[in-house]
Amino acid sequence: MKVETPEDVLFPGLDLVVKRAVVADGGMMIDAAGCGSPGACPQCRHPAARVHSRYWRHIAGLPVGVHRLIVRLRVRRFFCNQNWCRRRTFVEQVEGLTEPRRRSSTAARSAMRAVAVELGGRPGQRLCARLGLYGRRTTILGQLTAPPVPARAPQILGIDEFAFGKGHTYGTVLVDVESSRPVDVLPDRETGTVAAWIQEHPGAEIICRDRLMAFTKAIRQAAPNALEVADRWHLLQNLSTAIEKTCRRHRDCLRRPTASESTTALVTPETALWTGSDDATRRSTSLPPPVCRSTPSAAVYGWTARRSGATGTRTLKGFSPRRKTTGTVSSTHSSSTSSTASRQAAPVQCSSIARCSSSATPADITS
């Protein structure tokens, strides 16, 4: 097809005359006017003959390249000459572009309707902004229309509840199980509402329902000859509930040990303990005595030991060259073991020497 005018590119097949096109701020505005026949009155369908007035309409269309499109359309308002018609004036409509009380073109509304079906409100609004379509969340959702409800119910009908507001308002959805398409939506889940719908739409032979008791009563009232079955999800839920109850009932059987485990005794190896009596006992143990790692040695800090009293009390005094703090560590032994006091391992606390909560022995410090 040979392109001769801008109307063939922008509005192919429409009765429009393009007067001017302006591109500014990322958008394109086109001034156009209708050039078709006046049309007929939408109420009495009588053709118009007289022009009442003219005015501008702004119609949002599909984007052109990277520019949003606004059509500023000059339309005519006509008189209706029929005296018995209640409508005195009407506005001409450009077929394929405008509809009464609409601010978007027919093609733009079709695109927004497809976005609303696939994405919904807010995600659809974000996508329309990226595509260059003028559409807010409420405008996009307003493009959705309820599909026609068939006169007869499908042969296999599915009934389930859903939440308009969880915990507050619930409704009922009716689905054609064979085609996996919704048939109708009911405003509540009451027995009377579901039974009335089934009576008005006969033809269901198998009804796959929810476990709600209201649905059971409705099916018994409206379709007593229909076969009631449970859907797959509820079957799996019933199975998991039965398994859980069985496992709880036989919990003792599951925890009962086997014969081989009951005859085998657990033997714990004995570990030699160091009592600190002599060197032989100390060497026999595999674990070294506890030593405070944060306590400095006597060679560095100059510890001195002295013995006082008949009970064998030994006092260790030392000086810290870094912190200039002194500490006293004492241990008490009997007189019979005073000869080996330097090697005994009575635990002492190193509270003032270093910031540590572990224990140390005088023998480790003086050795």
pLDDT (0 to 100) of residue 188: 92
> What mean pLDDT do residues 152-157 have?
91
* Mean pLDDT for all residues in the chain: 75
The answer to whether residue 159 scores a pLDDT higher than 50 is yes
pLDDT (0 to 100) of residue 271: 55
Are residues 92 and 76 in contact, defined by beta-carbon separation less than 8 angstroms?
A: yes
Residue ranges with strand state E in 95-149: none
Determine which helix (DSSP H) or strand (DSSP E) holds 257, and give its type and residue range.
Answer: none
pLDDT (0 to 100) of residue 27: 86
The answer to whether residue 305 scores a pLDDT higher than 60 is no
- Minimum mean pLDDT range among 3-7, 24-28, 171-175, 332-336: 332-336
pLDDT (0 to 100) of residue 355: 45
CA distance 84 to 259: 103
CA distance 11 to 115: 23
The answer to whether residue 117 scores a pLDDT higher than 60 is yes
- Minimum mean pLDDT range among 162-166, 230-234, 259-263, 275-279: 275-279
Q: Could you read off the pLDDT of 316-341 as tens digits, one per residue?
A: 444 444 444 444 444 444 444 444 44
Q: Could you read off the pLDDT of 170-223 as tens digits, one per residue?
A: 999 999 998 888 899 999 999 999 999 999 999 899 999 888 889 999 999 999
pLDDT range class, residue 260, cuts 50, 70, 90: low
Are residues 128 and 114 in contact, defined by beta-carbon separation less than 8 angstroms?
A: no
The answer to whether residue 11 scores a pLDDT higher than 70 is yes
pLDDT (0 to 100) of residue 195: 93
- Closest Cα partner for 208 from 154, 162, 170, 171? 154
pLDDT (0 to 100) of residue 156: 92
CA distance 321 to 78: 110
Q: Could you read off the pLDDT of 218-247 as tens digits, one per residue?
A: 999 999 999 988 888 888 888 999 999 998
pLDDT range class, residue 13, cuts 50, 70, 90: confident
pLDDT (0 to 100) of residue 319: 46
pLDDT range class, residue 267, cuts 50, 70, 90: low
pLDDT (0 to 100) of residue 289: 52
Residue ranges with strand state E in the chain: 16-24, 27-34, 51-64, 67-79, 89-91, 156-165, 169-176, 181-186, 206-209, 227-230, 304-308, 313-319, 326-332, 348-349, 359-360
What percent of the chain has a predicted confidence (pLDDT) above 90? 22
Which has more pLDDT, 343 or 88? 88
> What mean pLDDT do residues 303-324 have?
47
CA distance 134 to 32: 19
Which of 39-53, 116-130, 133-147 holds the top average pLDDT? 116-130
CA distance 358 to 367: 19
Q: Could you read off the pLDDT of 56-95 as tens digits, one per residue?
A: 999 998 888 888 889 999 999 999 888 888 888 989 888 8
Tokens representing 245?
A: 């109850």
pLDDT (0 to 100) of residue 218: 92
The predicted model scores a pTM of 0.50
Cβ neighbours, 10 Å, residue 353: 23
CA distance 247 to 239: 12
Residue 65, SS3 per DSSP: coil
> What mean pLDDT do residues 35-59 have?
86
Non-local CB neighbours of 116 within 8 Å, separated by 6+ positions: 124, 140, 141, 143, 144
pLDDT range class, residue 272, cuts 50, 70, 90: low
Tokens representing 27?
A: 């958008």
Are residues 133 and 113 in contact, defined by beta-carbon separation less than 8 angstroms?
A: no
> What mean pLDDT do residues 263-276 have?
53
